[in-house]
Amino acid sequence: MTISDPQIITLGGEEYAVVPRVEYDALRNAVEEDAMDAALMQRALEDPDQELVPFDLVKRIASGENPVRVWRTYRGRKAGELAATAGIAASYLSDIENGRKPGSVNAMKRIATALSVSVDDLI
């Protein structure tokens, strides 16, 4: 949004900026959105069950890396260890992480539990 140069007027010794109504409305909406974002962030920070994850993790998943592998490495787990904890074959976990198999619903639930994440975080 580009704001035009405001007209400055003085009333009662105080200076005021006068902007077109459309710009005023846009500025007001931006402030309200920022306030809502700040409130949501504060609520998330105060929730002891809310896990905050590094932006790098989110970026890796968004760029196409397999979420199971990203979460596994973030948690510092070895593939064989995760497979054993989840009760699946290491070769099956490898197939999931390398995109050769999608992973059954049951396997994804087990992996999610072993990584302490939701299934949604893995799909």
pLDDT in tens, 92-120: 999 999 999 999 999 999 999 999 999 99
Residue 2 is predicted with a pLDDT of 65
**What's the CATH superfamily of 55-122?**
lambda repressor-like DNA-binding domains (1.10.260.40)
Residue 83 is predicted with a pLDDT of 96
| Domain limits, the chain | 7-46, 55-122
Around Cβ 116, how many Cβ atoms within 10 Å?
A: 10
Residue 109 is predicted with a pLDDT of 96
In 3-state terms, what secondary structure has residue 108?
A: helix
Query: Which residues of the chain have a pLDDT value below 70?
Result: 1-3
Residue 46 is predicted with a pLDDT of 79
CB 101 within 8 A of CB 92: yes
**Rounded-to-integer distance, Cα 103 and Cα 95, Å:** 8
